[in-house]
Chains A and B, each alone.
Chain A
Amino acid sequence: MNIEDIFNKAREEKRTVLTEIEAKQALTAAGLNCSDTRLAADKAQAAALSEEIGYPVVLKISSVDITHKSDAGGVKVNLKDKAEVEQAYDNIMKSAQAACPDAQIEGVSVQGMARPGIEIIMGMIRDANFGPVVMFGLGGVFVEILKDVSFGVVPIDKNDAAEMIAEIKGKKLLSGYRGQEPADISYLEDMLVKLSDFVDKTPGIAEIDMNPVFAWNDGAVVVDARIILE
């Protein structure tokens, strides 16, 4: 499905929030490397997709009505074999239905466990005056408590992206801290530019969250993503 079809489907269903799978499809189409994430409508399909993707895998509840998946008990990680996947599927369904009885559930998303890296957040919001604005920050406590993020007004070029990353107070973490592998900064810059180009060309997006992105010394991957339409 191309981006337009994804957006149209959501609008027809009177949704402004895309599912994780839809969001990743759209971002993949925009040239961003997202973890391979597929929808399983039932337990058997979840097991089959897990076999295909390769263990360990992550299962997440897929429902347009459930935005806080972890809070609803809808996320199980590091599932190492078929039995664990099937068990996880049952648990997810049970707790999601308990937490959100009215939610319409389309199944679970199945994705591989991403190779760990430095946790990054990238995103976009629409400012009433400046239009779309992209954001970069370090994930976890850095974004939540220290609000260590920087912005760029769309469109940005690679130089702007470099300055955005350089502006982060915790930027030293990106160059390898206590044995942590350093991040591929040039790759992150390219990601920001691609995100900027995407929102610049694509009307109708209100907000994007790519959180977390795992940054490695040879690229990065979008592990979770959310897109909210206007």
Chain B
Amino acid sequence: MMELFFKPKSVAVIGASTNPKKDGNIILQNIIDSDFSGDIYPINPTAPEVSGYKAYPSVKDVPGNVDLAVIIIPAKFCVQAMEDCAAKGVKAVIIEAMGFAEVGGDGIELQKKIVAIAEENGIRVMGPNCTGIVSRDIATTFFPMKNVPKGNVVLIGQSGLLAAGMASDIVVNQTLNVNKICSIGNKCDVNENDLLDYFGDDPETEVISMYLESIADGRNFVKIAKRAAAKKPVIFLKGGRTEAGAKAAMSHTGSMASDTKIVEAAIRQTGCVKADDFTEIKDFAKVFSTQPLPNGNRVAIVTAAGSVGVVVSDICAEHGLEMPKLSPHTVEKLKDVFPPNMPPANPVDLWYSIEKLGLVKTLETTLAAPLEDPGIDAAVLILAGMKYTMPVLDEKTVQKITAQYKKPVIVCMLVGYNEYKNRIMEELGRDLPVFTSILSGVKALSKLCEYGVRYHRKNG
């Protein structure tokens, strides 16, 4: 059933517009721009044609089957559109229009009518008040979207921020290797449980990252999320956790917040990775989707700035990461790139070597040796936005080294000039998780280590 949303063979856009500024036109254009190769039916009461496709006054007039209908017309007309879909035999509908439960009053009644028609006719409904799906196969959002990656991450969200702002950021800047971004809005029918169930079993999906303002069905959520999280990492940010948050949730997508402690218990029980911020649902997903799972929590810090060592140690300790001594064998390997009066240690200080050999040569020893150390499970590489760092980008040094070892590496970039910092973010950031703060980098790595330890304990 969920296949009809993600891999339909035919799609109707109810409210397809000839005006390129209107949502109903952008949605159609997004579908055209995606890899979707099935039949496209614009539904428009007057226009004979929209964006080069023959249009029909009603979905009932479409000659062939309609697997999926996307509805983008004012809320008051949506009930009729749903009835038309029912008459046509459409089984999957995305209602993107606003003005339902989230506005209260009549909106609640309208949403109830939608649900009643759906239940009576066996139609699954995503939304209302959502942007549906962003993927290479099909994109139904009303924000222009092209060249969506065919990656391994699925983002699920209730809010426009994720669906619009983050989606554009991720797709345009290629900051995350997404496969699908789903915005499920008011969740009048299709909710996170349906999606967790579907993506838990979907072989293309390796990481699920999710932002919810409310949990639709707590009891089933715990069971379903636990099942999905046993198969792949599920990162979860829950809004509306405090009183203030709960009020915001009510006025936003018409949802009620659950009690903080119970929600946290549920997250712990399901084995989901708890995120505390929007950036984290992306950052954690980046780490989980690009880095191998470590076996432990022992971290080597490899840093272009020696003085950060103390702070890094504290942050690592706060996040349950250990910074052990390097093995004698590793120390031996590092001796040549360290000054005679300064024995190699963890953190591995690169400055002397950078001056002597340049950063590329330096990393070939100083990043490789700790990763080879059997007493080290992961590494944090601290770079600076300096000109001397650029050859590392050109030669893909970090990518080449990390590819040789099945150990996670995250990069923190602390200081430097914007022109170089931006290049590091953009170029290295495509392949590896790059953070602008040690705290967020170490936190993300700690989540990966925690998950890895748990995963290996369970799966041997």
User: Which residues of chain A have a CB within 8 Å of any CB of chain B?
Assistant: 127, 129-131, 133, 149-153, 156, 160, 163-164, 167
Whether the Cβ atoms of A151 and B265 lie closer than 8 Å is yes
B interface, size bucket:
10 to 19
Whether the Cβ atoms of B269 and A127 lie closer than 8 Å is no
Whether the Cβ atoms of B269 and A156 lie closer than 8 Å is yes
Known contacts A127-B259, A130-B222, A130-B258; is-contact A152 B265 (Cβ 8 Å): yes
With the chains together, A156 CA to B265 CA distance in Å?
A: 11
Q: Which chain A residues border B258 with CB–CB below 8 Å?
A: 127, 129-130
- B211-219, B361-369, B408-416: which lies at the A interface? B211-219
With the chains together, A146 CA to B198 CA distance in Å?
A: 41
Total A-B contacts with CB atoms under 8 angstroms apart: 44
With the chains together, A130 CA to B224 CA distance in Å?
A: 13
With the chains together, A90 CA to B215 CA distance in Å?
A: 54
Q: Does B268 contact A (CB under 8 A)?
A: yes
A–B pairs, 22, beta carbons within 8 Å: A127-B259, A127-B262, A129-B219, A129-B262, A130-B215, A130-B218, A130-B219, A130-B221, A130-B222, A130-B266, A133-B262, A150-B265, A151-B262, A151-B264, A151-B265, A153-B218, A153-B219, A153-B262, A153-B265, A153-B269, A156-B269, A160-B269
Q: Looking at chain B's contact residues, is the secondary structure mostly helix, strand, loop, or mixed?
A: helix
With the chains together, A163 CA to B262 CA distance in Å?
A: 14
Which A residue's beta carbon lies closest to that of B264? A151
With the chains together, A104 CA to B410 CA distance in Å?
A: 69
Interface string of B248-270 (1 = CB under 8 A from A): 00000000001101101110110
Whether the Cβ atoms of B265 and A129 lie closer than 8 Å is no
Whether the Cβ atoms of B268 and A131 lie closer than 8 Å is no
Contacts of B284-341 to chain A: CB distance below 8 A: none
Q: Which chain A residues border B264 with CB–CB below 8 Å?
A: 151
Q: Which chain A residues border B269 with CB–CB below 8 Å?
A: 152-153, 156, 160, 163
Shortest CB–CB separation between residue A41 and chain B, in angstroms? 42
Which B residue's beta carbon lies closest to that of A157? B269
Whether the Cβ atoms of A127 and B218 lie closer than 8 Å is yes
With the chains together, A156 CA to B219 CA distance in Å?
A: 12
3 closest cross-chain pairs (CB), A and B: A130-B218, A129-B218, A151-B265
Interface string of B204-233 (1 = CB under 8 A from A): 000000000001011101100000000000
Q: Which chain B residues border A127 with CB–CB below 8 Å?
A: 218, 258-259, 262
Q: Which chain B residues border A160 with CB–CB below 8 Å?
A: 269
Shortest CB–CB separation between residue A142 and chain B, in angstroms? 15
User: Which residues of chain B have a CB within 8 Å of any CB of chain A?
Assistant: 215, 217-219, 221-222, 258-259, 261-262, 264-266, 268-269
Whether the Cβ atoms of B218 and A163 lie closer than 8 Å is no
Whether the Cβ atoms of A130 and B268 lie closer than 8 Å is no
Q: Which chain A residues border B268 with CB–CB below 8 Å?
A: 163, 167
Of the residues A129, A150, A152, contact of B217 by C-beta under 8 Å: A129
Known contacts A127-B258, A127-B259; is-contact A133 B219 (Cβ 8 Å): no
With the chains together, A82 CA to B58 CA distance in Å?
A: 89
With the chains together, A167 CA to B274 CA distance in Å?
A: 15
Shortest CB–CB separation between residue A81 and chain B, in angstroms? 46
Known: A130-B222, A151-B262; 18 extra A-B contacts, CB below 8 A, are A127-B218, A127-B258, A127-B259, A127-B262, A129-B215, A129-B217, A129-B258, A130-B215, A130-B262, A130-B266, A131-B218, A131-B219, A133-B265, A149-B261, A150-B265, A153-B218, A156-B269, A163-B269
Shortest CB–CB separation between residue B187 and chain A, in angstroms? 13
Shortest CB–CB separation between residue A169 and chain B, in angstroms? 13
Q: Which chain A residues border B215 with CB–CB below 8 Å?
A: 129-130
Shortest CB–CB separation between residue A131 and chain B, in angstroms? 4
Which A residue's beta carbon lies closest to that of B259? A127
Q: Which chain B residues border A167 with CB–CB below 8 Å?
A: 268
Shortest CB–CB separation between residue A165 and chain B, in angstroms? 12
Which B residue's beta carbon lies closest to that of A151? B265
With the chains together, A149 CA to B264 CA distance in Å?
A: 12
Q: Which chain B residues border A150 with CB–CB below 8 Å?
A: 261, 265
Shortest CB–CB separation between residue B263 and chain A, in angstroms? 8
Q: Which chain B residues border A152 with CB–CB below 8 Å?
A: 265, 269
Shortest CB–CB separation between residue B451 and chain A, in angstroms? 15
Q: Which chain B residues border A129 with CB–CB below 8 Å?
A: 215, 217-219, 258, 262
Shortest CB–CB separation between residue A118 and chain B, in angstroms? 22
Q: Which chain B residues border A153 with CB–CB below 8 Å?
A: 218-219, 222, 262, 265-266, 269
Which B residue's beta carbon lies closest to that of A160? B269
With the chains together, A149 CA to B265 CA distance in Å?
A: 11
With the chains together, A62 CA to B259 CA distance in Å?
A: 34
With the chains together, A94 CA to B259 CA distance in Å?
A: 43
Which A residue's beta carbon lies closest to that of B214? A129
With the chains together, A84 CA to B218 CA distance in Å?
A: 52
Q: Which chain B residues border A131 with CB–CB below 8 Å?
A: 218-219
